[in-house]
Amino acid sequence: MKSESGSAELIKSGYISSKVDALINIFKSFGSSNEVLCLIFVERIMTAKAVERFMRGIVNFSSFSISYLTGGSTSKDSLSPAVQRYTLDLFRSGKVNLLFTTDVTEEGIDVPNCSCVIRFDLPRTVCSYVQSRGRARRSSSNYVLMIERGNMDQQEHIFRIIQTEYYIKHFALYRHRNPNVSSSEWPMQDKYAYHVDSTGATITADCCVDLIRKYCEKLPKDRYYIPKPSFAVAIEDGSYQCTLTLPPNAAFQRIVGPLCSTSNLAKQLVSLDACKKLHQLGELNDHLLPFTEEPIDIDVALRDGKFLSGPGTTKRKELHGTRNVLALSGSWIHESESVTLNAYRFDFLCDQEGENYAGFVLLMESALDDDVACSKMDLFLIPNKMVYTTVTPCGKVQLDKKQLRDGKLFQEFFFNGIFGRLFHGSRTSGVQREFLFRKGHEIQWSSQSMYLLLPLRHSPHIQQDLNIYWEAVESCTQAVEQLRNLYLEDENIRANFIQHRSIKEKDIIHLANKSLHFSSIKDSVVLSLHTGRIYSVLDLIYGTTAEDSFEEMYNGKASPFSSFVDYYREKYGIVIQHPKQPLLLLKQSHNAHNLLFSKSKYIDFGSYHNFKVLRNIFPGAFRTIGRLSTKICDRM
């Protein structure tokens, strides 16, 4: 293979087939390896392994990175799941150009930059043909079928597959047409279908219901909450109209479909409209598939066959470590009276209507350089949102003794609460459980991180002056003081902390520290007194109370508790004074995720799902912290 005639000599000698030689010529036509991402489908594991090894030895292909990927069968030639994922990530990142694979990669993978798919062995079924063809994602990509010249069986096999695909697609498009109307009088094809020009992807109305369900399955969930779509069909003047309601953590919540002749068609068409909207919002990619977790760029080393994971290579490592910044150092936090600090306000403006982000002010001892103090930047967030960010110097700000104390306590409470660190130790770990703000304990601030980050009142317009949201700051400090009084030295919460109230109005919700009208509880931020975790309230769940059956699992076994009332009394010593009020639908803020996205990924891929975990908990064990926007909580 070191000469131009090398392959011809090998064919003549019987070492390689003319089919392998044809594949070599295809590879030679690719040109620059930097622009090639090619999948080569073969039928057998041994074929993938043998041809890949042979191609590695060809001098002309030394610029290509070649590998193979097969399934996890019982064969000794099969690859382990870890090696499969590693190889696929190398291919996604462009560090492997030519990937020989079996049908294991026909479904469920997303490689947007794949430029060519070659069927070295022909597909056996229509599904295999369609799925493998769909791996060629990049614009102007190629799909190559290698058919033996003069082999009529292979030609007829491929013809039947293509013909069957056409009939299936045609039937799906015109399934609901009036049989009395000739095909020439049928409406345009796109009336019951949605087409993406850039990729050629098309989805029909009768496939959209399943796609909506699949989209909901991809939304974040846990054992307390499984996101599902809800369809409500109404009859109006003999016609049917369907309303689709998506889960709270979807890109949008509600859409109403057109009037239809049947309820089934109404359900399908509202799903079609929803799929169009999800694609426009970036929740479905240009191949009309829900986005899955984007693989992180591979810089993983292999030592002794083991993977060395670095920052960001696992779900819980996406919050990277930080370096000490000299400008943030200082000693002013220990001042007992007032302090004067430099102020820099951060304002955020989202490119999507209705998305509001409150600003904050950074207070620090050092003065920033002008190019940093007056700066603008674009933050690319998931899902497919861009936030215009401005940093503005606001001169010096003097904090009196009370403001300094409240600001310190707010920062200690708020950020420890977000990351679920208000308590240290647990019964299971053997370390005594202690409240972070217990009496007599003072949190030590590092001199290398001496700054305050305080919230500003939200304004639809960017303002030059500072308007610190001191009410929210004071709410947090009050929560700390109440928790200090509630927790004893033996880490048990006082059983009588929830006092009986005389307020019995129908629309009042009783929390641990105050009673609120039901309209005021939504979008509030609350603190769980028994766990020290912060939640945002999404809604009230009417029809459910703390006296309902406790259906959760407890330590992997069936729960011994009959109800929420029984659970909180036995486990935490909490006596619920208002067990008949509705439960709260909550979103936790103590599972922090990095929502920043690189610009290239924002443009190419567009979307990730917000990580939202919902829980149903009764109101009595919560203390309200403040009336903050849910949008703020979503981004904590």
Regarding whether 532 and 458 lie in a shared domain, the answer is no
Q: Comparing 326 with 148, which gets the higher pLDDT?
A: 148
Percent of the chain at pLDDT above 70? 73
Regarding whether 463 and 364 lie in a shared domain, the answer is yes
DSSP state of 384: T
Regarding whether 472 and 344 lie in a shared domain, the answer is yes
Domain count of the fold of the chain: 4
Cα(100)–Cα(50) distance, integer angstroms: 10
Regarding whether 212 and 280 lie in a shared domain, the answer is yes
* All residues at 6 or more sequence positions from 87 whose CB lies less than 8 Å from its CB, including other chains: 67, 68, 69, 79, 96, 99
Q: Which segments of 246-333 are extended strands (E)?
A: 254-256, 302-303, 306-307
Please give the biggest Cα pair distance in the chain: 98
Between 108-122, 299-313, 325-339, the lowest mean confidence (pLDDT) is in 299-313
Residue 498 resides in a domain: no
What confidence score (pLDDT) does residue 628 get?
41
**78-89 per-position pLDDT tens digit:** 677 888 888 888
User: Could you tell me the CATH number of the domain that includes residue 549?
Assistant: 2.170.260.10
Q: Comparing 606 with 487, which gets the higher pLDDT?
A: 487
Q: Tell me the HSE value of 554 on the side-chain side, using a 13 A CA sphere.
A: 12
What confidence score (pLDDT) does residue 85 get?
84
**232-280 per-position pLDDT tens digit:** 999 988 899 999 999 887 888 899 999 998 888 899 999 999 999 999 8
Structure tokens at 137: 């994602």
Residue 158 resides in a domain: yes
Q: Comparing 40 with 80, which gets the higher pLDDT?
A: 40
Categorize the per-residue pLDDT at 558 as very low, low, confident or very high, splitting at 50, 70 and 90.
low
Cα(416)–Cα(283) distance, integer angstroms: 32
Residue 184 resides in a domain: no
Backbone angles phi, psi at 26, to 5 degrees: -65, -45
Is residue 137 pLDDT above 50, yes or no? yes
Residue 396 burial class via C-beta count within 10 angstroms: exposed 0-12, middle 13-18, buried 19 and up: exposed
Cα(448)–Cα(222) distance, integer angstroms: 38
Average pLDDT over residues 299-320: 39
DSSP state of 355: -
Regarding whether 160 and 86 lie in a shared domain, the answer is yes
Q: Comparing 260 with 634, which gets the higher pLDDT?
A: 260
What confidence score (pLDDT) does residue 633 get?
31
Regarding whether 349 and 465 lie in a shared domain, the answer is yes
Is residue 500 pLDDT above 50, yes or no? no
CB 589 within 8 A of CB 559: no
Regarding whether 476 and 336 lie in a shared domain, the answer is yes
Is residue 15 pLDDT above 60, yes or no? yes
Torsion, CA 258, CA 259, CA 265, CA 268, rounded to 10: 20
Residue 271 resides in a domain: yes
Cα(452)–Cα(364) distance, integer angstroms: 7
Nearest Cα residue to 414 out of 337, 472, 464: 472
Nearest Cα residue to 53 out of 102, 119, 100: 100
What confidence score (pLDDT) does residue 282 get?
83
Regarding whether 205 and 157 lie in a shared domain, the answer is no
Regarding whether 139 and 54 lie in a shared domain, the answer is yes
Three-state secondary structure string covering 496-558: CCCCCCCCCCCCEEECCCCEEEHHHHCCCEEEECCCCCEEEEEEEEEEEECCCECCCEECCEE
Helix (H, G, I), strand (E, B), or coil: what is residue 487? strand
Is residue 360 pLDDT above 80, yes or no? yes
pTM: 0.45
CB 36 within 8 A of CB 118: no
**530-545 per-position pLDDT tens digit:** 777 788 888 888 888 8
- Tokens 């994922």 map to which residue? 85
Cα(188)–Cα(195) distance, integer angstroms: 12
Exposure b/e, 500-528, CB count within 10 A at least 16 = b: eeeeeeeebbbbbbebbeeeebbbbbbbb
Nearest Cα residue to 480 out of 407, 419, 573: 407
**362-389 per-position pLDDT tens digit:** 999 889 888 788 888 888 776 677 888 8
Point out the domain boundary residue: 454, 487, 520. 487
**422-455 per-position pLDDT tens digit:** 777 665 556 677 778 777 777 878 888 889 999 9
Q: Comparing 345 with 192, which gets the higher pLDDT?
A: 345
Is residue 504 pLDDT above 70, yes or no? no
Residue 130 resides in a domain: yes
Residue 362 resides in a domain: yes
DSSP state of 424: E
Q: Tell me the HSE value of 433 on the side-chain side, using a 13 A CA sphere.
A: 16
Mean pLDDT computed over every residue of the chain: 75
What confidence score (pLDDT) does residue 212 get?
92
* All residues at 6 or more sequence positions from 608 whose CB lies less than 8 Å from its CB, including other chains: 291, 293, 294, 382, 383, 595, 597
CB atoms within 10 A of CB 267: 23
Cα(253)–Cα(270) distance, integer angstroms: 13
CB atoms within 10 A of CB 431: 10
User: Could you tell me the CATH number of the domain that includes residue 10?
Assistant: 3.40.50.300
Regarding whether 482 and 514 lie in a shared domain, the answer is no
What confidence score (pLDDT) does residue 59 get?
63
Domain span at 417: 326-487
Between 10-24, 206-220, 322-336, 593-607, the lowest mean confidence (pLDDT) is in 593-607
Structure tokens at 417: 């609460």
CB 348 within 8 A of CB 458: no
Helix (H, G, I), strand (E, B), or coil: what is residue 152? helix
Categorize the per-residue pLDDT at 39 as very low, low, confident or very high, splitting at 50, 70 and 90.
very high
Q: Comparing 278 with 319, which gets the higher pLDDT?
A: 278
Categorize the per-residue pLDDT at 599 as very low, low, confident or very high, splitting at 50, 70 and 90.
low
Between 134-138, 261-265, 322-326, 397-401, the lowest mean confidence (pLDDT) is in 322-326
Between 111-125, 158-172, 494-508, the lowest mean confidence (pLDDT) is in 494-508
Categorize the per-residue pLDDT at 292 as very low, low, confident or very high, splitting at 50, 70 and 90.
low
Regarding whether 206 and 166 lie in a shared domain, the answer is no
Q: Which segments of 192-336 are extended strands (E)?
A: 193-195, 202-204, 230-236, 239-245, 254-256, 302-303, 306-307
What confidence score (pLDDT) does residue 3 get?
59
Exposure b/e, 278-297, CB count within 10 A at least 16 = b: bbebbbbbbbbbbbeebbbe
Regarding whether 552 and 479 lie in a shared domain, the answer is no
Pairing state of beta strands 116-119 and 38-41? parallel
Nearest Cα residue to 471 out of 453, 451, 455: 455
Q: In the beta sheet, which residues pair with residue 390?
A: 347, 376
Residue 299 resides in a domain: no
Q: Which of 203-217, 374-388, 497-511 has the highest mean pLDDT?
A: 203-217
Residue 500 resides in a domain: no
